[in-house]
Amino acid sequence: MQYVDWVQGLDIDEPVYMDANILVGSLISKHPLYGKCANVLGKLLADKVEIMLSVVSVDESIWAIVKLAYCELHHYKPSKTLWNANIYRRHRDEIFQSYESWINYVGKAVKDWTNAGAKIDVVPKTRELFEAVLDLIPVYMKEVKLTPADAVHLAIAQKHARAFLTADSDFAEVRQNPPPGDLVVIKVTA
Amino acid sequence: MSIGTMTSRRLPKPSVVEEVHVEFRSDVEESGKIVWGQINELLRTSLNRSGFRQPSIDLIQQSYREMERPSLIVVARGIAVEAGEYEERYGSIDLKYYQEHMSPELFRAFVRRIGSIKGRPDLNIGEFVDTPEI
């Protein structure tokens, strides 16, 4: 496995597994990574590259947007705001009342791009691949020191893709201690 | 019976204008529009009779529309945004390249969705998308 920083013009082998932060980063215009995330995504779409998402990516993307909506409602800074399921449950109604359209954007974007011809797949694709992913998750949690969700991303990417696009610095351990495999982890930084 | 002396005092001469354009805009919904329309029509008729020619209703409505609609920039077929939003969402995006390398449908879907959430500039996107503890 390799770990490289994304630069303009970098050749990216397909299929590409996309982390939630790239998807969210391409939707939030004021984010410092917005331009890079949107351009990476645009290049993949323009080059008709096969893009892979998992339900974990969708789950994390929606959580991010829900937290953002909560911060908007209360004028909080996201980086300094405590966020968990209990807070969500308490504020769910007001979040939906004001920001339901935001929460729909992830699904609408993926469906719009797919319906317009983008090659976007949901993985794991088969039971065999799913079982292989299950086996890898604890290995990556232990050896790459990842959280369960990040280990799921890396395991899915390893079993389905040639490249894993992420903005999450938690995967930096791959640079120091690369596990076996052909996957290239590509880090998008501001 | 006393007779007062009449004095003549020169009144200020009304200023001469060549055109008077009266505009009334209501801030109420449909029910108010009818009343304001009637007031508007009465005033227009009166001014027309006094020699102040009023523009047609169509011209007035057109000028309203122009006032209400700031200049828009067309990004793709059916997608137009204000200049500020264009700069924020598309200023750092190589739209020309994508337009040349995507089908019109995909380009339209792409520009329609990217940057569609304003958000905040202080997000740490790496940590931001972590699923919270249950």
- Strand A163-166 and strand A184-187: pairing? parallel
Contact B119 A63 (CB under 8 A): no
Which tokens is A151 given?
């280990």
Q: How far apart are CA B100 and CA B110, in angstroms?
A: 13
Residue A11: which residues within 8 A CB-CB, separation 6 or more? none
> Which member of A31, A60, A112 has the closest CB to residue B131?
A60
Residue A32: asked if its preceding bond is cis (omega within 30°), the reply is no
The percent of residues in chain A predicted with pLDDT above 70, rounded, is: 100
Contact B117 A68 (CB under 8 A): yes
Q: How far apart are CA A13 and CA B71, in angstroms?
A: 42
Q: How far apart are CA A114 and CA A121, in angstroms?
A: 9
- Inform me whether the C-beta atom of residue A9 falls under 8 Å from chain B C-beta atoms: no
Residues 138-177, chain A, touching B (beta carbon < 8 A): 147, 149, 167-170
Adjacent-strand bridge partners of A52: A17, A121
**Total H helices, total E strands in chain B:** 6, 2
- Inform me whether the C-beta atom of residue B106 falls under 8 Å from chain A C-beta atoms: yes
Return the pLDDT at B71: 83
Confirm if A157 and A12 have CB atoms less than 8 A apart.
no
pLDDT, tens digit, 9 for 90 and up, residues A31-71: 888 999 999 999 999 999 999 999 999 999 999 899 999 99
Interface pTM, i.e. ipTM: 0.92
Give the count of beta carbons closer than 10 Å to the beta carbon of residue B100. Answer: 10
Q: How far apart are CA A175 and CA A63, in angstroms?
A: 28
Q: Which chain A residues are closer than 8 Å to B133 by Cβ?
A: 84-85
DSSP string, A45-90: HHTT--EEE-HHHHHHHHHHHHHHHHHHHHT--GGG----HHHHHH
Task: Work out the angle at residue A122's Cα, subtended by the Cα atoms of residues B101 and B115, and round it to the nearest 5 degrees.
Answer: 50
Q: How near does any CA of chain B get to the CA of A26, in Å?
A: 5
pLDDT, tens digit, 9 for 90 and up, residues A159-177: 999 999 999 999 999 999 9
Return the pLDDT at A88: 94
Phi and psi angles of residue A58, each rounded to the nearest 5 degrees, phi first: -65, -45
Adjacent-strand bridge partners of B76: B79
**Residue A143: alpha-carbon gap to chain centroid:** 21
- Inform me whether the C-beta atom of residue B121 falls under 8 Å from chain A C-beta atoms: yes
> Which member of A38, A46, A112 has the closest CB to residue B112?
A112
Return the pLDDT at B134: 45
Q: How far apart are CA A109 and CA A156, in angstroms?
A: 22
Q: HSE of B90 in the Cβ direction (CA atoms, 13 Å)?
A: 23
Q: How near does any CA of chain B get to the CA of A110, in Å?
A: 9
pLDDT, tens digit, 9 for 90 and up, residues A74-123: 988 887 888 889 999 999 999 999 999 999 999 999 999 999 999 999 99
- Inform me whether the C-beta atom of residue A13 falls under 8 Å from chain B C-beta atoms: no
Query: pLDDT confidence of B13, banded at 50, 70, 90?
Result: low
